[in-house]
Amino acid sequence: MKTFISLLCLLGTLAPGAFSQTARRVDPQLEHRQFTVEGVVRETLVYVPTSAHSKATPVVFIFHGHGGNATNAARSFATHRYWPEAIAVYPQGLKTPGRLTDPEGKRSGWQQRLGDQGDRDLKFFDVVLAKLNSDFKVNTKRVFSTGHSNGGAFTYLLWETHGEVLTAVAPSAAAGLFWEKLKLKPKPVLHLAGENDTLVKYEWQQRTMEMVRKINRCEPDGKPWEGKLTGPGVCTLYESKTGSPFVSFIHPGGHGFPAAGPELIATFFQRF
């Protein structure tokens, strides 16, 4: 198992053919697609239901964490399995300096703030979504983003920069380090956090969740959410006066993506 995980972590450096072959061994439903963004070839794994050619179809973007890859995200999030009626996009990040680890940028990741790396990842998102809109019948009122760790932080950045495009977001193990500079408008949010996360510290995530509830003008008291749990943890729903509820999933784990995450995220996007 450790050898297989190590192989997945190297995918960002593999040739496109090897990337595609490895992805298909993980799940034959996934298609390897390339996009050229300002002269740079960017890669994704994409699942497209056959109905997307004739029926308005939701789109979910799933961003891996720093040092991760699209194939591992497809395995851990498995959005295309929990919501097969939606288009699922698993983008591959480029080598990017990390804020908490990898300051030299030897591993793959996503920009942290507006303007970083020439906004190459925000432009990547735009190119992919535009191509999906041209190739399929996309339901433009149902476009979602989720991600873990650095991918979750990038999802928060997308909320700021593409709030008019995204319907709802679901970051995992992420914190807003520059909230005082962000201009966020209310939007349904599911945040997944581990109480024993020592990398993106739980107290940072608590402050982030508190600020999101304020932005969404949520009620102060939460109530249990009916999302199905496949592991330990507690889901709490905070109703919103703006129609943008906030749901927190607090689990006893650390920085890893929780086993309950895939189904919770798919259920949240379908309901909100």
Q: pLDDT higher for 13 or 86?
A: 86
Cα 178–chain centre separation? 19
The arrangement of strands across the sheet holding 223-224 comes to 31-37, 40-47, 87-91, 57-63, 138-148, 168-172, 189-194, 246-251, 234-238, 223-224
Output the pLDDT for position 241.
87
Angle at 91 between CA 85 and CA 93, to 5 degrees: 165
Domains of the chain: 2-271 (3.40.50.1820)
Cβ–Cβ contacts within 10 Å for residue 49, how many?
A: 18
Q: Measure the CA–CA gap between 184 and 161, rounded to whole angstroms.
A: 9
Q: Tokens 């595609």 label which residue?
A: 20
Three-state DSSP at 212 gives: helix
CA-based nearest residue to 121, from 162, 85, 87, 164: 162
Cβ–Cβ contacts within 10 Å for residue 79, how many?
A: 25
Residue 52 has pLDDT above 50, yes or no: yes
Output the pLDDT for position 105.
79
The pTM of the full predicted model, rounded to 2 decimals, is 0.90
Mean pLDDT value across residues 153-177: 93
For residues 20-43, one letter each, b for 16 or more C-beta atoms within 10 angstroms of the residue's C-beta and e for the rest, the string is bebbeeeeebbebbebebeeeebb
Mean pLDDT value across residues 200-217: 94
Residue 14 has pLDDT above 90, yes or no: no
Q: Tokens 């995220």 label which residue?
A: 265
Report residue 99's pLDDT band, with 50, 70 and 90 as the boundaries.
confident
**18-47 per-position pLDDT tens digit:** 566 666 666 888 999 999 999 999 999 999
